[in-house]
Amino acid sequence: EHITKHPLQNRWALWFFKNDKSKTWQDNLQLVTKFDTVEDFWALYSHIQLASKLTSGCDYSLFKDGIEPMWEDNWNKCGGRWLITLAKQQRHTELDRFWLETLLCLIGEMFSDYSDDVCGAVINIRTKGDKIAIWTREAENQDAVIHIGRIYKEHLGLSSKVVIGYQAHADTATKSGSLMKNKFVV
Protein backbone atom coordinates (compact mmCIF):
# COMPACT_ATOMS: atom_id res chain seq x y z
CA GLU A 1 0.00 0.00 0.00
CA HIS A 2 1.25 3.45 -0.92
CA ILE A 3 1.35 5.71 2.12
CA THR A 4 1.99 9.41 1.82
CA LYS A 5 1.42 12.25 4.23
CA HIS A 6 -1.36 14.69 3.51
CA PRO A 7 0.11 18.01 2.39
CA LEU A 8 -1.27 21.28 3.71
CA GLN A 9 -1.82 24.28 1.47
CA ASN A 10 0.73 26.24 3.50
CA ARG A 11 3.79 25.56 5.58
CA TRP A 12 3.18 26.79 9.15
CA ALA A 13 5.57 27.89 11.88
CA LEU A 14 4.86 27.45 15.58
CA TRP A 15 6.36 30.10 17.87
CA PHE A 16 6.62 30.11 21.65
CA PHE A 17 6.89 33.22 23.79
CA LYS A 18 7.94 33.05 27.44
CA ASN A 19 7.98 36.23 29.43
CA ASP A 20 11.45 36.75 30.90
CA LYS A 21 11.79 40.37 31.99
CA SER A 22 15.59 40.21 31.84
CA LYS A 23 15.39 39.70 28.06
CA THR A 24 14.01 41.76 25.20
CA TRP A 25 10.60 40.93 23.73
CA GLN A 26 12.23 39.53 20.59
CA ASP A 27 14.65 37.35 22.60
CA ASN A 28 11.70 35.84 24.43
CA LEU A 29 10.13 34.75 21.15
CA GLN A 30 11.38 31.38 19.87
CA LEU A 31 10.57 29.50 16.69
CA VAL A 32 9.63 25.96 17.74
CA THR A 33 9.28 24.22 14.38
CA LYS A 34 7.62 24.28 10.97
CA PHE A 35 5.33 21.69 9.37
CA ASP A 36 3.40 21.28 6.16
CA THR A 37 1.46 18.03 6.48
CA VAL A 38 -1.58 16.93 8.48
CA GLU A 39 0.45 14.16 10.10
CA ASP A 40 3.29 16.45 11.15
CA PHE A 41 0.80 18.89 12.65
CA TRP A 42 -0.56 16.17 14.95
CA ALA A 43 2.95 14.91 15.79
CA LEU A 44 3.77 18.43 16.98
CA TYR A 45 0.45 19.04 18.70
CA SER A 46 0.69 15.85 20.74
CA HIS A 47 4.29 16.59 21.68
CA ILE A 48 3.82 20.08 23.16
CA GLN A 49 2.08 21.28 26.34
CA LEU A 50 -1.59 22.09 26.16
CA ALA A 51 -2.08 25.84 26.28
CA SER A 52 -3.94 25.55 29.59
CA LYS A 53 -0.80 24.05 31.17
CA LEU A 54 1.47 26.96 30.22
CA THR A 55 2.42 29.54 32.83
CA SER A 56 1.05 33.06 32.73
CA GLY A 57 2.87 35.34 30.33
CA CYS A 58 3.40 32.60 27.73
CA ASP A 59 2.07 32.65 24.16
CA TYR A 60 1.86 30.18 21.32
CA SER A 61 1.65 31.62 17.82
CA LEU A 62 1.03 29.73 14.60
CA PHE A 63 1.82 31.73 11.48
CA LYS A 64 2.31 31.01 7.81
CA ASP A 65 5.97 30.41 7.02
CA GLY A 66 7.64 33.75 6.33
CA ILE A 67 5.36 35.83 8.57
CA GLU A 68 6.66 36.72 12.03
CA PRO A 69 4.11 36.86 14.88
CA MET A 70 4.36 40.61 15.44
CA TRP A 71 2.53 43.72 14.27
CA GLU A 72 5.66 45.10 12.66
CA ASP A 73 5.91 42.32 10.08
CA ASN A 74 5.02 43.60 6.60
CA TRP A 75 2.30 40.97 6.31
CA ASN A 76 0.67 42.11 9.55
CA LYS A 77 1.11 45.85 9.79
CA CYS A 78 -2.02 46.77 7.79
CA GLY A 79 -4.01 43.92 9.33
CA GLY A 80 -5.87 43.19 12.50
CA ARG A 81 -7.28 40.41 14.63
CA TRP A 82 -10.50 38.67 15.57
CA LEU A 83 -10.13 38.56 19.32
CA ILE A 84 -11.63 36.02 21.70
CA THR A 85 -11.27 37.06 25.33
CA LEU A 86 -11.87 34.35 27.89
CA ALA A 87 -13.00 34.59 31.47
CA LYS A 88 -10.59 33.09 34.02
CA GLN A 89 -12.63 29.96 34.57
CA GLN A 90 -12.74 29.19 30.83
CA ARG A 91 -9.07 28.15 30.98
CA HIS A 92 -10.21 24.87 32.48
CA THR A 93 -13.28 24.37 30.33
CA GLU A 94 -12.81 25.85 26.88
CA LEU A 95 -9.34 27.25 26.27
CA ASP A 96 -7.72 24.12 24.81
CA ARG A 97 -10.75 23.30 22.68
CA PHE A 98 -10.94 26.87 21.31
CA TRP A 99 -7.22 26.87 20.50
CA LEU A 100 -7.38 23.49 18.74
CA GLU A 101 -10.40 24.62 16.69
CA THR A 102 -8.44 27.76 15.80
CA LEU A 103 -5.46 25.69 14.63
CA LEU A 104 -7.68 23.40 12.56
CA CYS A 105 -9.36 26.41 10.90
CA LEU A 106 -5.93 27.66 9.88
CA ILE A 107 -4.23 24.51 8.63
CA GLY A 108 -7.41 23.25 6.93
CA GLU A 109 -7.83 26.61 5.14
CA MET A 110 -11.44 26.64 6.31
CA PHE A 111 -12.17 30.23 5.24
CA SER A 112 -12.46 29.19 1.54
CA ASP A 113 -10.97 31.81 -0.81
CA TYR A 114 -10.46 34.24 2.05
CA SER A 115 -7.95 31.92 3.71
CA ASP A 116 -5.26 33.85 1.83
CA ASP A 117 -6.04 36.80 4.10
CA VAL A 118 -5.15 34.79 7.21
CA CYS A 119 -1.66 35.39 8.60
CA GLY A 120 -1.83 33.29 11.75
CA ALA A 121 -3.20 32.96 15.25
CA VAL A 122 -2.00 33.75 18.76
CA ILE A 123 -2.94 32.49 22.19
CA ASN A 124 -1.94 34.57 25.23
CA ILE A 125 -1.97 32.90 28.65
CA ARG A 126 -2.58 35.64 31.21
CA THR A 127 -3.62 35.73 34.87
CA LYS A 128 -6.29 38.33 34.21
CA GLY A 129 -7.83 36.29 31.37
CA ASP A 130 -6.57 34.35 28.39
CA LYS A 131 -6.93 35.54 24.79
CA ILE A 132 -7.02 33.86 21.40
CA ALA A 133 -6.92 35.74 18.11
CA ILE A 134 -6.81 35.09 14.39
CA TRP A 135 -4.70 37.67 12.58
CA THR A 136 -5.54 38.74 9.05
CA ARG A 137 -3.39 40.77 6.70
CA GLU A 138 -5.59 43.70 5.68
CA ALA A 139 -8.07 45.37 8.01
CA GLU A 140 -9.68 47.17 5.05
CA ASN A 141 -10.62 43.90 3.28
CA GLN A 142 -14.08 44.00 4.77
CA ASP A 143 -15.52 41.00 2.88
CA ALA A 144 -12.61 38.79 3.88
CA VAL A 145 -12.52 39.96 7.49
CA ILE A 146 -16.27 39.50 8.01
CA HIS A 147 -16.31 36.08 6.33
CA ILE A 148 -13.39 34.88 8.45
CA GLY A 149 -15.06 36.18 11.61
CA ARG A 150 -18.36 34.44 10.87
CA ILE A 151 -16.78 31.09 10.04
CA TYR A 152 -14.44 31.33 13.02
CA LYS A 153 -17.29 32.03 15.42
CA GLU A 154 -19.22 29.07 13.98
CA HIS A 155 -16.26 26.72 14.43
CA LEU A 156 -15.82 27.80 18.05
CA GLY A 157 -19.46 26.98 18.61
CA LEU A 158 -20.22 30.43 20.02
CA SER A 159 -23.88 31.31 20.36
CA SER A 160 -25.34 34.11 18.29
CA LYS A 161 -25.67 36.14 21.49
CA VAL A 162 -21.88 36.25 21.87
CA VAL A 163 -20.29 39.11 19.95
CA ILE A 164 -16.65 39.02 18.91
CA GLY A 165 -14.71 42.03 17.70
CA TYR A 166 -12.05 42.75 15.09
CA GLN A 167 -9.41 45.34 15.82
CA ALA A 168 -6.86 46.83 13.43
CA HIS A 169 -3.30 46.39 14.75
CA ALA A 170 -2.65 50.06 14.02
CA ASP A 171 -5.39 50.96 16.52
CA THR A 172 -4.28 48.37 19.10
CA ALA A 173 -0.73 49.74 18.96
CA THR A 174 -1.81 53.28 19.83
CA LYS A 175 -4.71 52.68 22.20
CA SER A 176 -5.25 50.41 25.15
CA GLY A 177 -7.91 48.88 27.33
CA SER A 178 -11.37 50.34 27.04
CA LEU A 179 -10.26 52.74 24.31
CA MET A 180 -9.68 49.83 21.96
CA LYS A 181 -12.24 50.09 19.22
CA ASN A 182 -13.76 47.25 17.25
CA LYS A 183 -13.60 47.89 13.53
CA PHE A 184 -16.04 45.04 12.90
CA VAL A 185 -18.14 42.74 15.04
CA VAL A 186 -19.91 39.44 14.26
Partner 1 sequence: GKKQYGREFLLDFQFMPACV
Nearer to partner 1, 116 or 138 (CB): 116
- Report the amino acid identity of residue 120: G
Residue 169 vs residues 35, 71, 119, 151: alpha-carbon distances, Å: 27, 6, 13, 21
Residue selected from 30, 93, 112, 174 as contacting partner 1 according to rule CB under 8 A: 112
If binding is defined by CB under 8 A, does position 104 make contact with partner 1? yes
Nearer to partner 1, 114 or 166 (CB): 114
If binding is defined by CB under 8 A, does position 129 make contact with partner 1? no
Closest approach, Cβ 37 to partner 1, in A, equals: 9
Per-residue binder mask for partner 1 (CB under 8 A), 147-166, x = binder: --------x-----------
> Each residue of 71-96: b (16+ CB within 10 Å) or e?
eebebbbebbbbbbebeeebbeebbe
Closest approach, Cβ 157 to partner 1, in A, equals: 11
If binding is defined by CB under 8 A, does position 109 make contact with partner 1? yes
Contact residues for 128 (Cβ-Cβ < 8 A; gap 6+): 88
Q: What does DSSP assign to residue 108?
A: T
Residue selected from 61, 102, 115, 124 as contacting partner 1 according to rule CB under 8 A: 115
| Total length of the chain | 186
Binders of partner 1 among residues 27 to 86 (CB under 8 A) are 38-39, 41-43, 45-46
Containing 173, the helix (H) or strand (E) segment is helix 169-174
CA angle 56, 59, 62 (to 5 degrees): 160
Closest approach, Cβ 7 to partner 1, in A, equals: 6
Strands (E), the chain: 7-17, 29-37, 59-64, 80-85, 118-124, 131-136, 165-168, 184-185
Nearer to partner 1, 50 or 163 (CB): 50
Binding site for partner 1 (CB under 8 A): 3-9, 38-39, 41-43, 45-46, 101, 104, 107-110, 112, 115, 155
